[in-house]
Structure 1
Amino acid sequence: MILNRAILVLTAALLLTATPAVADKTTITDVTGRQVELDLPAKRVLVGEARQIHVIAALKGEHLFDTIVGWRDDMIKKDPDSYEAYRERFPALESLPQTGYIPSGTFSLEGAIALKPDILTLNLEAQKSAQESGIEEKAAAAGIAIVYLDFRVDPAKNSEKSIELLGSIFGEKTKAAEFIAYRRAQIALVTERLAKAGNIVRPKVFIERSPGISGDNVCCRTFGPANFGEMVELAGGHNIATDVISTTFGDLNPEQIVVSNPDHVIVTGANWAAESDINQFVHVGRGADPENARTKLEALMERPAFSSLAAVKNGKVHAVWHQFYGVPYEFVPIQQFAKWFHPDLFGDLDPDKTFREFHERFLPIIYRPGYFVSLPAGEE
């Protein structure tokens, strides 16, 4: 009896050892409120916007591309300076399969399915098109879980949630928490000091979205109360566009800008050589040439709506890297804006040092400056 009992125990143990472990399903809630059931961490991820790499890199470091099976082609076209930095560090990136963009109709679901991803991460802006085209339903039928993230439409509401989601997807919850804590602390260096300063005078600020990239829009795309508009407010300025528009993105006409007569003008810029039809944009970003950027910035201020503004006359004209608008690195421009708006209050802040420190602590690429520029009289 004792021998038989021992044999039964041994047989049961062998059966347990031979049976593959079944992964536990985890339910997460994405930024749209959708509940998604999946196995975590994911083994194969299709990154639906390549610029999400700026966040994933802060979580995965040297292992950034271990579980990424493909990505959208937007970083190559819209953020080539960053793409080159990651290509230098990860040469295999050149052969990483690319997908198109769902709202533009260039996304191939068949191509995505062929990559056998567990998860497809999409930006919030793609949700409507993904639903109307049937891609959301068809992806689910193919066993691909879609998770929506948002760093652009309503960053204040969704950025930290999106970082947490990526932390869960890539098995880096602790690193995600560290990222969020660092981001909060760096923003607090500005907001807490402003709160202690009391009733400060907030300069009027106009921030123009990507001027000089296209001849179809001479002036004046801008930001409402969210995104760069909110960064202006957090830094102690008043975004004049919020007096007129309530959406994340919108347009002012030149006459409105002239009437508002802002104290500071900030334009967003990047390396858009692959997309621009007029090449008048301000190229700022990783390793950008500051003299070239100033020349382009000065030329933009010669447009009729700008030449008479107080900001231009007083030399308070600046450019900021456009891609900050879709990456939760906004603590860097908030610090820089605060220095521009209130130089006496924030003279000790060093946004360049902050961003360098962030790279050294979180990112697998080397830092190179070039993300901001001012016209000479505007340098504080």
Structure 2
Amino acid sequence: MNFLRMAAAAAALLASFLPLSAQAFTVIDVAGREVSFDRPVERVVLGQGLMIHAIAPIAKEDPFAKIVAWRNDLWKTDKNSFNAYAQKFPKMRELPFVGNVDNGTLQTETIVKLNPDVVLLPIESKPPAEEAKLEQTLAGVGAKIVYLDFRADMIKNTEPSLKIIGKLYGHEDRAEAVAAYWKQQMARVTDRLKAASPARQNVLVYRIAGLTGCCATFGPHNFGLMVEQAGGHNIGSDFVPGLYGELNPEQVIASNPDIVVVTGTNWSETEGAKGYVNVGPNAAPTLDESRKALNALMTDPAFTGSKAVANGNVHAIWHMFYTSPYQFVAVQQLAKWFHPDLFADLDPDTTFKEFHDKFLPIPYQPGYWVDARAAN
């Protein structure tokens, strides 16, 4: 044992004397850009706080150890997750917040003063970042931008994004394991659907209900794609060409969905949020209240006469599945709603608990979905 410890210490000492060129590495981000670093990454700015959901399974010991600042969207749009991580890593509360490059509130001077090695941005932030010449500004202090994506094209970009984080954090083996788990769990649904080829019901995803009026929804991407992956037909894809958009109430009535799925989370820190469905980590104790909120949303004239409401096929699911590498859980739960007999043996709660036990530093806290009708 002493010999092994001495050998490990010697290896660490040797690594500290290696020339920078030996520690240099390059990643290709989801925008196809080659981004080179001449040393390991130690200081990270999150241009989207929700990225912690992707960093946590790869930097399990302390996902905040290298983060020097982040956007405050986790607090504003996913307060339950914020509280869960703050309980385990209270120092995260002291991290400074930076603005949002998408709406022009990102304080470039603040980021420069933080002297980061890398700023992680979602791929949809690339146009505004280019307009603000953020890359050129950061180059002056030796910082790089790396683009990730878990929502614009989740099938194409989730695995590469995880592996990019693995390389940045020096945990490529963990990233490979998380990506493999993601792929395996997605296949538990898609492989069975391919073999059985069941009929597809028409599904309306009511996006961020309670933050907007009727009816925000998804096009053929993100939750729209998850619906298709789970064996449903996403109504929004027929009318919305992009990631998300709006359907007017008359169109919802005409579409007469077989199933309605509302996305919700703890939006209590979001200005103007009311009537939303609180689902997500640790929402299980209050799911009766969430169910009442869900049923209240269905009293809108756009839904009252629908097949979904008449047959009790109305559900709510955690909105943040849409921008994290946990989409496989949502796909499994959607599949159970769409094809209950075909997926009777599938238990998404067990899947997500296993993922927490294997990869995440915080315990599983159920409450990620609720049905409009309580189970008998």
TM-score tier (shorter): over 0.9
Asked if the contact 1:42–1:118 (Cα under 8 Å) also holds between the matched residues in 2, the reply is yes
Note the 1:1-380 alignment, pairs <5 A. 21-24=19-22, 25-39=24-38, 41-198=40-197, 200-213=198-211, 217-288=212-283, 289-376=286-373
Q: Could you say if the C-alpha distance between residues 106 and 353 of structure 1 is closer, same or farther in structure 2, counting changes exceeding 3 Å?
A: same
| Corresponding residue SS for 1:147 | strand
Letter in 2 for 1:302: T
1:275, 1:368 → 2: CA distance?
Answer: 22
Asked if the contact 1:294–1:375 (Cα under 8 Å) also holds between the matched residues in 2, the reply is yes
Q: Which moved more, 1:50-59 or 1:25-34?
A: 25-34
| Corresponding residue SS for 2:59 | helix
Q: Could you say if the C-alpha distance between residues 259 and 39 of structure 1 is closer, same or farther in structure 2, counting changes exceeding 3 Å?
A: same
CA-CA distance at 1:40 after TM superposition? 5.1
In the alignment of these two chains, the number of paired residues is: 360
CA-CA distance at 1:18 after TM superposition? 11
**1:48-95: CA deviations, max 9, x gaps?**
211111111000111322222221111111111101111000111111
**1:219-263: CA deviations, max 9, x gaps?**
111111110011111111110111222211111111111111111
**1:106-151: CA deviations, max 9, x gaps?**
2111111111111111111211111111222111222110001111
Aligned counterpart, 1:4: none
Q: Could you say if the C-alpha distance between residues 69 and 314 of structure 1 is closer, same or farther in structure 2, counting changes exceeding 3 Å?
A: same
Asked if the contact 1:28–1:37 (Cα under 8 Å) also holds between the matched residues in 2, the reply is yes
2:258, 2:16 → 1: CA distance?
Answer: 72
2:317, 2:341 → 1: CA distance?
Answer: 21
TM-score, normalised with respect to structure 2 = 0.92
Asked if the contact 2:30–2:161 (Cα under 8 Å) also holds between the matched residues in 1, the reply is yes
1:185, 1:164 → 2: CA distance?
Answer: 16
Asked if the contact 1:40–1:168 (Cα under 8 Å) also holds between the matched residues in 2, the reply is no
Asked if the contact 2:20–2:38 (Cα under 8 Å) also holds between the matched residues in 1, the reply is no
Q: Which has the larger radius of gyration?
A: 1
2:209, 2:52 → 1: CA distance?
Answer: 25
Q: Could you say if the C-alpha distance between residues 202 and 45 of structure 1 is closer, same or farther in structure 2, counting changes exceeding 3 Å?
A: same
1:202, 1:157 → 2: CA distance?
Answer: 24
TM-score, normalised with respect to structure 1 = 0.91
Q: Could you say if the C-alpha distance between residues 348 and 17 of structure 1 is closer, same or farther in structure 2, counting changes exceeding 3 Å?
A: closer
Asked if the contact 1:44–1:116 (Cα under 8 Å) also holds between the matched residues in 2, the reply is yes
2:260, 2:141 → 1: CA distance?
Answer: 49
| Corresponding residue SS for 2:303 | coil
CA-CA distance at 1:278 after TM superposition? 4.8
Q: Could you say if the C-alpha distance between residues 146 and 330 of structure 1 is closer, same or farther in structure 2, counting changes exceeding 3 Å?
A: same
Letter in 2 for 1:269: G
Q: Could you say if the C-alpha distance between residues 253 and 42 of structure 1 is closer, same or farther in structure 2, counting changes exceeding 3 Å?
A: same
Q: Which runs of 5+ in 2 are unaligned?
A: 1-13
Aligned counterpart, 2:7: none
2:16, 2:276 → 1: CA distance?
Answer: 62
Q: Could you say if the C-alpha distance between residues 244 and 63 of structure 1 is closer, same or farther in structure 2, counting changes exceeding 3 Å?
A: same
2:294, 2:274 → 1: CA distance?
Answer: 12
2:322, 2:39 → 1: CA distance?
Answer: 29
